[in-house]
Structure 1
Amino acid sequence: MLQEAPTSKASRARFITFEGGEGVGKSTQVKRLLQNLQRHDIEAVRTREPGGTPKAEAIRSFILQGRSESWGPGAEAVLFAAARLDHVNQLIAPNLRNGTWVLSDRFHDSTRAYQGLTGGVDDKLIAGLESLALDGHAPDLTIILDMDPEAAFKRVAERAIEDGLALTGDRFEKEELEWHKKLRDGFLSIARDNPDRCVVISAAQSEDTLEAAIWEAVTQRFPELLRGSQA
């Protein structure tokens, strides 16, 4: 379960999610945004999906090991929704009520993109599961990190070689390249349909440059961050 020590209370807690395909650097940038918020005296926690709570982490392990693959994307969507419901009830909602910002590495848009737009699960089922699991806790901002899947996987492979690690794929990383291209199109479609919530940022740049672009997007959406630092 990923959580980090908070700093101070914010006048209004915000919920920010990171989305995108495999290997685009979401986890790294969630950590960096958390650090930037804490430097501005914003109390924040980071988490991930599927996961974030013990029950949700158990579902994560079950899915990513490929044990649910034979059940089909519809059943996987239900499992993700069950994990998300616990995540919202046990971690996200309580922190937001207490004035703590929440940063999540993936949230409901991943179910839309993976099981819905890419997996072919009916929109009505996706919408119904989403309504149940979110219980009104939609993100204030969603940052979609966009990158050509072939380039993303090449980057992952190069870093694995540098670190001396074996390159293994989970349930979704093992899908064919065309599947991942369709997934990328799914996330971009979500961004087009939700321009007030979603910001697309190219992940095909250095980690430092990407961090700066994300911080700019966050402060444009929540200008009180900069006003507070000038007080």
Structure 2
Amino acid sequence: MFISFEGIDGSGKSTQARMLAEALRASGREVVLTREPGGSPGAEEIRRLVLEGDPDRWSAETEILLFTAARRDHLERVIAPSLAAGKVVICDRFADSTRMYQGLSRGDLRGVVDQLHVLMIGREPDLTVLIDIDPSVGLARAKGRQGTEERFEDFGVGLQEKMRAGFLSLAEEFADRFRVIDGAREPEAIAADVLDVVQAELPN
């Protein structure tokens, strides 16, 4: 099963992806925990290009190509082989993030993102968990990490507000695979809800 986690910056999705992986491993499942952009050596090199530096470093069109290239390498080298081996793949972000951050936030490029996705990726997660949180809270958390990968956080709270609305709209558009979880609680309470959702969908 292929599970993705989505949400605005600082939503807690990375923590929840890790906690789900730990819970499933404890129950005897073989789990691959990965992330985007990145997840494979080549994709990690592209990650540094797109997440570091000045906010205006790349145009939205260039970003779409870079993210798609990273995703293709990730799919070929990690995701597809792991699924073929019967493992559960948990991915911190996947194509829905590109639909939002490049396809919506920086121009009307959603159609371009979807066309490239069909041509070069060709699959969606089986289940997408959206951790929903207030944008101002998420941005404060994200900026508080004080890391080097803050290029998108540097666009400000306006972008995060647009992204939250966009993710909730995606959850309606792809209602068959999206599950929305309230992220404004303690991590353990969120994790319990995530595990319930996943176990209801996991094959025996």
Given the two structures, how large is their TM-score scaled by the length of structure 1? 0.83
Equivalent residue letter for 2:40: T
Q: How many residues align?
A: 204
Matched, 1:91 2:78: yes
Aligned to 2:107: 120
Matched, 1:65 2:52: yes
Contact 2:72/2:120 (CA < 8 Å) preserved in 1?
yes
Unaligned runs of 5+ in 1: 1-13, 225-231
Asked which structure has the greater CA Rg, the reply is 1
CA deviation digits over 1:132-167, x for unaligned, max 9? 3323x320000011101111233446xx4xxxx747
Unaligned runs of 5+ in 2: none
Matched, 1:198 2:160: no
Aligned to 2:202: 222
RMSD: 1.8
Measured at CA, do residues 202 and 26 of structure 1 come closer, stay the same or move farther in structure 2, by a change above 3 Å? same
Question: 3-state DSSP class of the match of 2:104?
Answer: helix
Matched, 1:36 2:23: yes
CA deviation digits over 1:95-121, x for unaligned, max 9? 000111100000000000111122224
Question: 3-state DSSP class of the match of 2:170?
Answer: helix
**What is the rounded CA distance, in whole Å, between the counterparts of 2:25 and 2:202 in structure 1?**
15
TM-aligned CA deviation for residue 123 of structure 1: 2.9
Aligned to 1:174: 154
Contact 1:19/1:144 (CA < 8 Å) preserved in 2?
yes
Given the two structures, how large is their TM-score scaled by the length of structure 2? 0.93
Aligned to 1:80: 67
Equivalent residue letter for 2:51: L
Aligned equivalent of 2:166, options 186, 209, 217: 186
Question: 3-state DSSP class of the match of 2:125?
Answer: coil
Which structure has the higher relative contact order (CA within 8 Å, separation 6+)?
2
Contact 1:85/1:132 (CA < 8 Å) preserved in 2?
no
**What is the rounded CA distance, in whole Å, between the counterparts of 1:62 and 1:169 in structure 2?**
10
Question: 3-state DSSP class of the match of 2:38?
Answer: coil
Equivalent residue letter for 1:203: G
Aligned equivalent of 2:37, options 18, 30, 50: 50
